[in-house]
Amino acid sequence: MKLLLEEKETERLIFRKIIPSDFNSWLPFYKDPTSTQFWEGIDKDPEIACNNHFKGVFHRYNNNLGGMNALLEKESLEFIGMCGLLVQTVDAIKEIEIGYSILPKYRKLGYATEAAKKCKAHALENKIATSIISIIQIDNIPSQKVAIANGMYLDKTTTYKNNPVHIFRVLL
């Protein structure tokens, strides 16, 4: 399964693998309390939270579990966020998820939707699954709006990693 979108592009974005030197570019995500306000179980220390996130990214890469791609803004080549296809298990069912996170200063500019749509198109083109999901904490309205803009519908509400979540789905 080709889950990573290395060297893929959209109108405004370039996708590439995360590299260790991206740590300092991603650290502001964890320094902004709005980034983790909806999710329980994330360390409150930004350095530790970012380090844990990067360990997870590289674990996924090394174990063929998909993973987040760095999102670079084409004009400036600035690191603006992450988006990717991830193997997840929800309610004992293996699923492919579109995950997305954008640095605070780049939010509300349509980047998450643009990246998520590219992930959906990639999954469809590569016949990765018959449907894909996004796992979104129930109070995270901005992320729900991205899922809806990506053609997803609310499939169910459940608990994931001790968090109440909506599972948005799109059939491919």
pLDDT tens for each residue of 32-77: 999 999 998 999 999 999 999 999 999 999 999 999 999 999 999 9
Architecture of the CATH domain 13-171: 3-Layer(aba) Sandwich (3.40)
Identify the band that residue 14 occupies on the pLDDT scale cut at 50, 70 and 90. Answer: very high
Residue 1 has pLDDT above 80, yes or no: no
Sequence letter at residue 170: V
Tell whether pTM > 0.85.
Answer: yes
Hey, what are 139's tokens? 């109070």
- Residue spans of the domains in the chain: they are 13-171
pLDDT over threshold 80, residue 166: yes
Q: pLDDT value at position 168?
A: 98
129 confidence band (pLDDT: 50, 70, 90): very high
pLDDT band (50, 70, 90) for residue 146: very high
